[in-house]
Amino acid sequence: MDTQTLVDALGLERLELNLFRGASPKEETRQRIYGGQVIAQALLAAYETLEDRVCHSLHCYFIRPGDPAVPIVFEVDRSRDGGSFATRRVVAIQRGQQIFNLAASFQVEEPGLEHQSPMPDAPHWDSVSDVTKDGSRRTGPIELRPMGGALGGVASPGEPVQQLWFRARDPIGPDPRMHQVILAYASDMGLMSTAFRPHGITWRTPGFQSASLDHAMWFHRPTDFNEWHLFHQASPSSSGGRGLNIGYVYRASDGALVATCAQEGLMRIRKA
């Protein structure tokens, strides 16, 4: 699937003023909907009810596993339209039940005081392979180059930190909102597995159960997601069957911090 196919697949059909219908990409092979997809579509649904505002933060919960074979209905609540900020709540529904909800805040663009943490050191993307450990080349609408070649955990314990370079594989187009939407789609890639690393577990570890519980994102600066970005990820804590992960997205060309993500995921070892 190329990037334009992804953009088309994320598109929504308007059913009513605040009601939209979306679907999973036809090429989808997962048994449940990829979290980044429903984040991106919910953000798009909110944008359909706004003009001249840009999302600066979103907070969402994954409530039930989504079925890629079933259409998703997105219901938007126009919570508030203020002079500078607007708030939207979006509920994603399948078979009459909520599978996901999102709250997002949008702002009229304005100048302001600026500071940021510096971009961490990382190998240049040209020196990082896009070939997986099994020898296959990574494909898909998002070009991924993880340091160390692995996403999804490691077989022996290590530091709770991982890095990857990523960008949209093909041109997204001129709409800055779509660059934000595709970045939100990509922000779920590998983030939760950062918390696996201190424990030496992977998605395939026998008896291991995992699932995304929530996801938050703050957009600090507009960016062109056709450029390379560094996704620096760290997990400060895991406890109570949950792992917390923080991700920082830096633009390679100037080191600008363009977004910050946070995600908590279920981490459970089932006893035989």
- How far apart are the C-alpha atoms of 116 and 218, rounded to whole Å? 13
Please say if 212 is a catalytic residue: yes
Q: Which residues, in sequence order, are bridge partners of residue 97?
A: 94
Among 105, 188, 193, 235, the active-site one is 188
Q: Would residue 2 show up in a list of annotated catalytic residues for this protein?
A: no
Answer yes or no: 57 catalytic: no
Q: Which long-range contacts (CB under 8 A, 24 or more apart) does 1-5 make?
A: 1/25, 1/27, 1/140, 1/141, 2/141, 2/169, 2/170, 3/141, 3/142, 3/168, 3/169, 3/170, 3/171, 3/172, 3/182, 4/170, 4/171, 5/141
Q: Which of 105, 163, 180, 212 is catalytic?
A: 212
Q: Please, what is the angle between helix 3-10 and helix 176-186, to 10°? A: 100
Give the closest residue to 231 by CA, choosing from 250, 216, 212. Answer: 250
Active-site residues, by number, are 188, 212, 263
